[in-house]
Amino acid sequence: MTAIAIQPECQPLPEVTERHLSFPVGDDQIQAILTLPAGAAPRQGVIFTHGWSGNRCGPAAIITALARRLAQNNCASLRFDFRGRGESGGHGLESTLTTMADDLVEASRQFAALSGIHKPVYAGLCSGGNVAIGALNRLPDAKAIVMLSVYPFSDGDAFGRDARRTLHFLKVYWLKATRLETWKRLWRGDVNLKQVTQVILNPLLRRQAGKQREGQQDAAKPATPQVARATQSESRLQPGQKPPRKFLANLRPGLPGLFIYGTGDPDARAAIDYYGTHITEHRLPIRIEHINGANHNFSSQLWFNQVADLTLAFLDQLP
């Protein structure tokens, strides 16, 4: 199988070659970037999946940067926009986790045809990780998984989660309150107390299931049945329900994995408990790593470097 269109090569770095390509899924075109090590056969292949409201670059271009870092270390990768996201065709409000899984399955076929790597590693960011895990039963050739800040598929402990967020922000602002510079800014009128109060209390006041970690639906859109289904699929935060565990069965024995969380992400604890319990109960070859102080998107260069180093070390251990 070949891609429907392949653009000429470019070299963003001396050791890295990239190609823009597109391929069909249903009636739409998926836009993707194939990243290869220049002048060498890749030793591993990675397929990235971005978060719900993001695109193939990832927040602060973390996916792009990670793909190129991997290529510098002799690993090929594919990053693509899900339908309705980025440059790909389709309507965003009609996307569901199921349609995203369809996109991932086709992307895997394309990657195998273009790179010659038939046993890829799947690397998911936030809800992109949920897509990858949920589709593993359709991806029998998966060699391993790398999950960055992936949350439970839904969160039944909504009040507990929101209370943890509030406590997290209280700690942050308490530390700021102990600094002389903060009081000087307050005296000058540079501190918006109303905004601070909203940040602290918003997790407890905002209870709608449609509001997400990475974004929310456009309230101006008509609530058609398709939109309602998309909103429900988008939401990982389903008040009154326990996080579903059926998708965890896709974390099959013998499939190595690496989960990475930042300690500065107030929602990480619940996710670590959710996945960690299953990993321990089933003795899965998956480890969970923490990056001290890092936020959800690992947005500083220091945190990104740690993500890249952990990922490369994990890939080095694979056959």
Q: Is residue 27 part of a domain?
A: yes
Q: Is residue 174 part of a domain?
A: no
Note the residue count of the chain.
319
Highest mean pLDDT among 20-24, 204-208, 238-242, 263-267: 20-24
Statement: residue 223 has pLDDT above 70: no
Query: What residue numbers bound the domain in which 25 lies?
Result: 16-158+244-317
Q: Is residue 132 part of a domain?
A: yes
- What pLDDT does residue 79 have? 98
What span, in angstroms and rounded, lies between the C-alpha atoms of 195 and 26? 45
Statement: residue 3 has pLDDT above 80: no
Q: Is residue 144 part of a domain?
A: yes
What span, in angstroms and rounded, lies between the C-alpha atoms of 128 and 126? 5
- What pLDDT does residue 237 have? 39
| 134-154 pLDDT per residue, tens | 999 999 999 999 999 999 986
Mean model confidence pLDDT for the chain: 82
The better pLDDT of the pair 217, 309 is held by 309
Handedness of CA 249, 250, 254, 259 (dihedral sign): negative
Tokens 């593993």 appear where? 136
User: Would you call 119 exposed, middle or buried from its count of C-beta atoms within 10 A (0-12, 13-18, 19+)?
Assistant: middle
Nearest CA among 62, 49, 65 for reference residue 108: 49
Q: Is residue 255 part of a domain?
A: yes
Q: Specify the amino acid at residue 24.
A: P
For the ranges 23-37, 168-182, 195-209, which has the lowest average pLDDT? Answer: 195-209
For the ranges 152-156, 258-262, 273-277, which has the lowest average pLDDT? Answer: 152-156
Which DSSP symbol is given to 151?
P
Residue 233 CB neighbour total at 10 angstroms:
16
| Number of domains into which the chain is organized | 1
Contact 6, 115 (CB under 8 A): no
pLDDT band at 65 (very low <50, low <70, confident <90, very high): very high
What span, in angstroms and rounded, lies between the C-alpha atoms of 286 and 37? 27
Q: What is the CATH number of the domain that holds 121?
A: 3.40.50.1820
pLDDT band at 217 (very low <50, low <70, confident <90, very high): very low
- What pLDDT does residue 244 have? 74
Statement: residue 232 has pLDDT above 80: no
What global pTM score does this model have? 0.75
Q: Is residue 8 part of a domain?
A: no
Q: Specify the amino acid at residue 67.
A: A
Q: Is residue 221 part of a domain?
A: no
| 170-184 pLDDT per residue, tens | 666 667 777 777 777
What span, in angstroms and rounded, lies between the C-alpha atoms of 156 and 159? 8
The better pLDDT of the pair 206, 126 is held by 126
Nearest CA among 81, 107, 105, 85 for reference residue 94: 85
Q: Is residue 31 part of a domain?
A: yes
